[in-house]
Amino acid sequence: PPFLVAVDPLDADAWITELEKVHKILKCTDEEKVDTAVHLLQGRAATWWEVEVKKKTDGKHTWEQFKKLFFDHHFPMTKRTEFIEQFLRLKQAGRTVEEYEREFSRLARFVPQLTTEDTDRSARFLQGLHLSLQKVICAANLTTYADTLSCAMRIEAVEQMEKRANDKRKQE
């Protein structure tokens, strides 16, 4: 997809994510990745890149260099820091486990250093769950993210069934 300018910094992140999917399917080399991205830049984004290329003596950039420059320009550090802080404060609160997991995964992309290892991701996810879920999952001694998520969803489903049964009894 073409890229003109990021109205929302998440647009820049989404664009890179989509490009990387295409790169993976096509098995692009580093140079092809940059060439593809540059070809898709339009308008102000293309102008920005022309300025960046002139700053480098050989004019060549690796894919990682391109992404760093791209994010520095289109996804400012202040916004990335905001997402990191949101992630560190994230709690399940009034959300279902599924809703919490969706927000957890969305924000986890911005703190790979805290979520790359499966056990770290699991522990961080567990910390944000309701205490009632944490107690059961801790007792089960689960260490993988998939097991922790699955267990939390099953416990929540049982709690909801119990609540419905109690509500039904109260009505009778």
- Measured between alpha carbons, how far is 8 from 4 in angstroms, rounded to an integer? 12
- Our measurement of the distance from residue 104's CA atom to the centroid of its chain's CA atoms, rounded to an integer in Å, reads 7
Name the residue with tokens 């486990």: 97
**Can you list the positions of beta strands (E) in 8-148?**
none
Q: Which two tokens stand for residue 157?
A: 């489903």
Q: Which two tokens stand for residue 28?
A: 């692009």
Residue 52: count of CB within 10 angstroms of its CB:
18
In which band, very low, low, confident or very high, does the pLDDT at 60 lie, cut at 50, 70 and 90? Answer: confident
Instruction: Answer left, alpha or beta for residue 56, where phi above 0 means left and psi between -120 and 50 means alpha.
Output: beta
For residue 136, give the nearest of 147, 120, 28, 80 by alpha carbon. 147
Q: Which of 9-18, 69-78, 85-94, 159-168 is modeled with the greatest confidence?
A: 85-94
In which band, very low, low, confident or very high, does the pLDDT at 112 lie, cut at 50, 70 and 90? Answer: confident
Position 25 pLDDT exceeds 80: yes
Q: Between 25 and 9, where is the model more confident?
A: 25
First to last CA, the chain: 58
Which residues, at least 6 apart from 163, have a Cβ–Cβ distance to it below 8 Å? none
Contact between residue 112 and residue 67 where contact means Cβ atoms under 8 Å apart? no
In which band, very low, low, confident or very high, does the pLDDT at 77 lie, cut at 50, 70 and 90? Answer: confident
Q: Which two tokens stand for residue 99?
A: 């809703």
